[in-house]
């Protein structure tokens, strides 16, 4: 007889007590998994976090460029030598073994991509997260990030964006240019972002095209929005067209006008 092992259920814990231990916790489930030293993949609405023994070893989000984009888009690494695979940690290990990048530079870029994707993965969600126990991305020789550090950095980034410009509507919407009367000067980084604003591109798409971390692009977008140089494109439906004016309507208006003049 084959025995099928099932993962242990996540224990139900008091949420108030959790927040007393971890002020500002973004994901109670993630904190519980860290305490249990769980291994697997936490799937959330805007991204996924890979855990090994309760620490985050990899993160990915459709809203953040991956390590492959960050390394190849601006010529740091020739795209022809990138070991194209969906297993980004394994690809990083191959690059290290082939001595294509210094270990320190590669680890710095890998951690940057992890924090960038985790920022979006830990964003407020309209659906509950799901955790799959089992195999995950291998940590290998790379540093695994404690969950407390990841949440602390995510909160710091949220607060920074709020201080720059408290309206988050430009973060994910198509962006349009604005024309203030006296436009302030912009930095070369901001100019590169502004040049790609066309009413279609969003901040994450611009980040991918520029080969920059998405959060850094959000910082530029918020500053440009605060300066009045861009705004989110309105997605409200256009009002229906007015009905055409007919000859009887014109005749009625003339009779009304004549009646008013006779008073």
160 and 36 in a common domain: yes
**Residues 96 and 224 occupy one common structural domain:** no
Q: At what angle do helices 28-36 and 147-164 cross, to 10 degrees?
A: 160
Rounded Cα distance between 88 and 82, Å, is 10
Same domain, yes or no: 198 and 137? no
Cα–Cα distance measured from residue 75 to residue 212, given in angstroms and rounded to the nearest whole number: 12
Three-class SS state of 141 = coil
Confidence (pLDDT) at 255: 72
Token readout for 147 is: 């969950």
Report how many domains make up the chain: 2
Is 261 domain-assigned? no
Domain region containing 210: 168-232
Count of C-beta atoms within a 10 Å radius of residue 163: 9
* 9 located within any domain: no
Residue 241 lies in a domain: no
Residue 159 shares a structural domain with residue 175: no
Contact 133, 115 (CB under 8 A): no
Beta bridge partners, 133, equal 40
Question: Does 154 reside within a domain?
Answer: yes
The reported pLDDT for the residue numbered 143 is 84
| pTM of structure | 0.78
Dihedral pair phi/psi, residue 40, rounded to 5°: 160, -160
Residue indicated by tokens 């249990």: 36
Residue 179 lies in a domain: yes
Q: Within this chain, do residues 209 and 140 fall inside the same structural domain, yes or no?
A: no
* Same-domain check for residues 124 and 144: yes
Average pLDDT over residues 33-62: 95
Question: If you average pLDDT over residues 167-193, what whole number do you get?
Answer: 93
Q: What is the pLDDT of residues 163-175, one digit of tens each?
A: 999 999 999 999 9
If one compares 147 and 256, the residue with the highest pLDDT of the two is 147
Residue 10 covered by a domain: no
């Amino acid at each position: 007889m084959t025995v099928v092992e099932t993962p242990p259920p996540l224990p139900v814990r008091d949420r108030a007590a959790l927040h007393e231990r971890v002020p500002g916790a973004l994901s109670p489930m993630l904190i519980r998994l860290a305490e249990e030293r769980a291994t697997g993949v936490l799937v959330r609405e805007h991204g996924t976090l890979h855990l090994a023994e309760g620490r985050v070893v990899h993160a990915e989000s459709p809203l953040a460029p991956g390590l492959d984009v960050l390394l190849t888009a601006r010529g740091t690494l020739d795209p022809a030598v990138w070991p194209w695979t969906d297993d980004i940690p394994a690809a990083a290990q191959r690059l290290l073994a082939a001595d294509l990048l210094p270990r320190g530079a590669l680890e710095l870029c890998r951690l940057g991509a992890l924090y960038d994707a985790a920022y979006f993965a830990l964003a407020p969600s309209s659906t509950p997260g799901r955790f799959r126990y089992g195999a995950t991305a291998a940590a290998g020789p790379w540093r695994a990030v404690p969950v407390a550090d990841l949440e602390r950095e995510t909160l710091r980034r949220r607060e920074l964006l709020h201080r720059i410009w408290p309206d988050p509507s430009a973060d994910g919407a198509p962006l349009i240019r604005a024309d203030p009367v006296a436009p302030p000067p912009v930095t070369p980084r901001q100019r590169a972002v502004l040049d790609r604003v066309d009413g279609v591109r969003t901040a994450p798409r611009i980040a991918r095209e520029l080969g920059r971390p998405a959060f850094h692009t959000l910082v530029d977008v918020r500053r440009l929005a605060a300066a009045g140089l861009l705004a989110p494109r309105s997605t409200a439906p256009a009002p229906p067209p007015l009905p055409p004016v007919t000859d009887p309507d014109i005749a009625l208006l003339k009779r009304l006008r004549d009646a008013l003049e006779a008073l």
